[in-house]
Amino acid sequence: MTMSITRLDAAAAARQRLALIDLLVDSVEHGASVNFVQPMTREKAARWWEGALLSHARGERVLFVATADDGHLAGSVQLILAGQENQAFRADIGKLLVHSSARRQGIGAALMQAAEAEARRLGRTLLTLDTETDSDGERLYLKLGWTRFGIVQGYATTADGTHRADCSFFYKQV
C-alpha cells in the first residue's frame, strides 16, 4: 500500500475530524503516552481535537496527515509554532500518531521528515519535543538524529494508569 503525506488546511482538517478522533483513540487504547489515561473515549478525543483544530485554523500549528491509497488516515503530526516573540524560530512537535495497524512501515519517520522540512521552510529551525522514556517514539526520534537533553523521572501517568513514567526531552536544529 502506498502512503501520501499531506499538509492540511483548515477546511481539509475539519473534513478529517472524525478520522483524527479515531486515530487518537486508537493510540491511547494501544498504550501511547499522549496526555490521556485509559479508558479513552471519543468524547475526550473530540474535545482535544476541537481545541487543536481551532488553534490550527488560527495559524498557530501546521498539521500533516498520512493517507493510504484507499483513503484511510494512517497517521498525523503537528508542528506547533512557538508564540513567544523571542522564540519566533522555534516550534514543538506534537501528537505524532501512527495507527496501530500501520506501524513499522516508515510512516512515523515520513511524517517527522515532512514536519522538519516544513519547519525549515518557515524558519523554525529549533524544534523541541518530549516523549515517554524507552518508548517507540523515543526510538524513532533517536534514529532521526534528535538530541535527548534530559530525562524527568515520574513525569506523566502511563496510558494504562498504573504508574508514573519517565519522560525524555529532545531538541533538533533543522
Ligand X SMILES: CC(C)(COP(=O)(O)OP(=O)(O)OC[C@H]1O[C@@H](n2cnc3c(N)ncnc32)[C@H](O)[C@@H]1OP(=O)(O)O)[C@@H](O)C(=O)NCCC(=O)NCCS
* Of positions 42, 121, 143, 164, contacts ligand X by CB under 6 A: 143
Decide if residue 32 touches ligand X (CB under 6 A): yes
Between strands 164-173 and 126-132, the pairing is antiparallel
Give yes or no for residue 60 binding ligand X (CB under 6 A). Answer: no
How far apart, in Å, are the Cα atoms of 47 and each of 21, 67, 90? Answer: 9, 23, 26
Q: For residue 95, give the 3-state DSSP assignment.
A: strand
User: How many residues interact with ligand X (rule CB under 6 A)?
Assistant: 20
**Which one, of 74, 30, 77, 32, lies nearest residue 52 by Cα?**
77
Residue 51 neighbours by CB under 8 Å, 6+ apart: none
Candidates 73, 98, 119, 167: give the one binding ligand X (CB under 6 A).
Answer: 98
Q: Can residue 97 be called a binding residue for ligand X (CB under 6 A)? A: yes
Task: Assess 105 for contact with ligand X (CB under 6 A).
Answer: yes
**In the bound complex, what is the minimum distance in angstroms from residue 86's beta carbon to ligand X?**
25
Tell whether residue 58 is a contact of ligand X (CB under 6 A).
no
The contacts of residue 82 (CB under 8 Å, 6+ apart) are 88, 90, 91, 92, 124
Q: For ligand X, what does the binding mask look like between residues 109 and 138, x meaning CB under 6 A?
A: x---------------------x---xxx-
**Residue whose entry in the numeric block shows the C-alpha cell 523571542:** 86
Interacting residues with ligand X (CB under 6 A): 27, 32, 34, 96-98, 103-109, 131, 135-137, 139-140, 143
